[in-house]
Chain A
Amino acid sequence: MPSPMDIYKFLPKTNCKLCGEQTCMSFAFKLLKGEKSLNDCKPLFEKEFEENRRKLEEILAVIEKATETGLVVNEELCIGCGNCVVVCPVHVYEDPKGAGSGYGVKLERPILRVENGRVRVVDVGLCRRYRDKMICVACRECCPTSAIAFLEEL
């Protein structure tokens, strides 16, 4: 996962405030959180910063794939074992007779569900990382094919 400093390096560093932020550094933080987009930085689209903009787009491409909790699922690597679905503490609490007991999750909007043999993120609203701001990696811990990853570890 890129740090705010990695992003700041490629920004104009003029603190022009055109983006609505006081400094380029705070703009870098907001970019990482997904609260601002590169389009908000007008000077970046000038010819002088064209190469910097391209590099920033490359860095931010990883973040775009991720959900709000930083969860990135690589469907190609997933074999649909459903370990992540069964082991998720929220699923166990909300659906003890389904996912909690080793079966397919019965919730209408679960966090993860195996569809067509691959795990799919359905709704991160229930995830402890989103709701309780907690660093939970239960789903990633039981995935030996590395189909699940979190941004902070990339």
Chain B
Amino acid sequence: MWTCTGCSCLCEDVEIDENTVRHACRIGAELFRGRSISRAEPLVEGKRTDIDSAIDKAVEILKESKGVAIYGLNRSTLEAQREALKLAEKLSAFVDNGSEFGRIVEAIFEGLIPITTIEDVRDYAYVQFYWRCDVHNSMPRLMARTYYARGKKRQRGYEEDRYLVVVDVRKSHTAMLAKKNASFFKTENDAELIGEFIKAIRGGVASGDVMRVVREVKKSEFNVILGGQIDAPMKLIEEFVKEVGYFVPLDYRTNSMGFFKTFGRRDELEKIVEDIDTLIVVGDDPMDDVGFDVMKSILKLKIIVITPKISFISKFADVVIPSAISGLECGGKMLRCDFKEVELKPPFKEGFSEEKILKSINGGL
């Protein structure tokens, strides 16, 4: 049994043989099956070289730079993130992973929002809110593990022992699953709806649909909000979670929670791009997340990319250093979306891990 690092579900039951990947969703299956496709090669200014020369060139660029930012690290292990932290401290660098969950995670670390684990959601949770996240597509197996699975105290299946609430701006695939014993709220104003829920839970009057959900919430002591990018003031979210029960942040980025735990902060690339002259990209691609104006600014920088696969940004990089795929080709630890630490046992052993590469760069500086 292997661990899939396709998303932050970190499913630990994947079986592989020569031609078949069993139990993984399409994201995970392609990660295993397409492992050898589009692999990156060590490049310096577009020319093929060896990995040591690429690392030396990266060190050379970093020595001359006046402002550095490190972007990505979402698919990296905790060990690699710690190595990146050392590098960031040495260079006084900015760090960013492109995730919008900073505020909520900060509140979780401060103990203002109570959290729970996927296993506890499965075993005890009655009402499950999926707020502003189409998990069926971003984290495909999550609902099978939380909502559809039978738990210790939830033995009778989802139609009787669970109540599903989906809140989104459109009727997503997740919202289509809200059938029997379920409600779907289509709204663009999260704050207003949260306000209505809080008022109703505290004994006030709200619309019929909200009252129906609140009646269900009061039936159980263990209810959970699995939240995506909730667009409401933090204070309101905190109050709402305390009234309902527990919270699980659903950031699909594999080790995004590990990033927040390691660095404790995030400097938004959009805001600091003008203050830097060198960008180190580890694992991810900032071009997936930023707007066109920021993209143009990024292309003016010196770019060092550490990546297992060719990406859009690697086409424009000054230095490309190929790395192993975390969890598949090198081991380590990662944090699941609910902050549970998962040990990765790699089925293959190939290439240099991001941790090793970052350590070599650190050593050279």
Contacts and interface: CB of A to CB of B under 8 A. Distances in A.
Interface of A: 78-83, 85-87, 89, 92, 96, 100-105, 113-118, 141-142, 144-145
A104 B26 contact: no
Nearest to B175: A144
Nearest to A113: B22
Nearest to A79: B26
Given A83-B143, A87-B144, 18 more contacts: A79-B136, A79-B140, A80-B29, A83-B144, A83-B148, A85-B144, A101-B122, A101-B149, A103-B23, A104-B23, A117-B24, A117-B27, A117-B28, A142-B148, A144-B136, A144-B173, A144-B177, A145-B173
Nearest to B19: A116
A81 B144 CA distance: 7
Nearest to B30: A117
Contacts of A86: 144-145, 148-149
A129 B158 CA distance: 21
B136 to A, nearest CB: 6
B360 to A, nearest CB: 35
Interface string B134-165: 00110011011110111100000110000000
26 contacts: A78-B26, A79-B137, A79-B140, A80-B28, A80-B29, A81-B25, A81-B143, A82-B140, A82-B141, A82-B144, A83-B177, A86-B144, A100-B150, A101-B122, A101-B151, A103-B145, A105-B23, A113-B23, A114-B24, A115-B21, A116-B29, A116-B33, A117-B25, A117-B29, A142-B177, A144-B176
**Which 5 A-B pairs have CB atoms at the shortest separation, nearest pair first?**
A104-B23, A102-B149, A117-B29, A117-B26, A144-B176
B247 to A, nearest CB: 20
Interface residues of B, number: 35
Interface in B23-42: 23-30, 33
A82 B25 contact: yes
A102 to B, nearest CB: 3
Contact of A104 (B13, B122, B173): B13
Given A114-B22, A116-B21, A104 B14 contact: yes
Interface in B277-332: none
A81 B136 CA distance: 7
Contacts of B141: 80-82
B148 A87 contact: yes
A104 B21 CA distance: 11
B120 interface: no
B149 A100 contact: yes
A103 B143 CA distance: 11
Contacts of A114: 22-25
B48 interface: no
A80 B150 contact: no
A81 B23 contact: no
Contacts of A82: 23, 25, 140-141, 144
A106 to B, nearest CB: 9
A92 B150 contact: yes
A7 to B, nearest CB: 33
A114 B26 CA distance: 9
B22 A118 contact: no
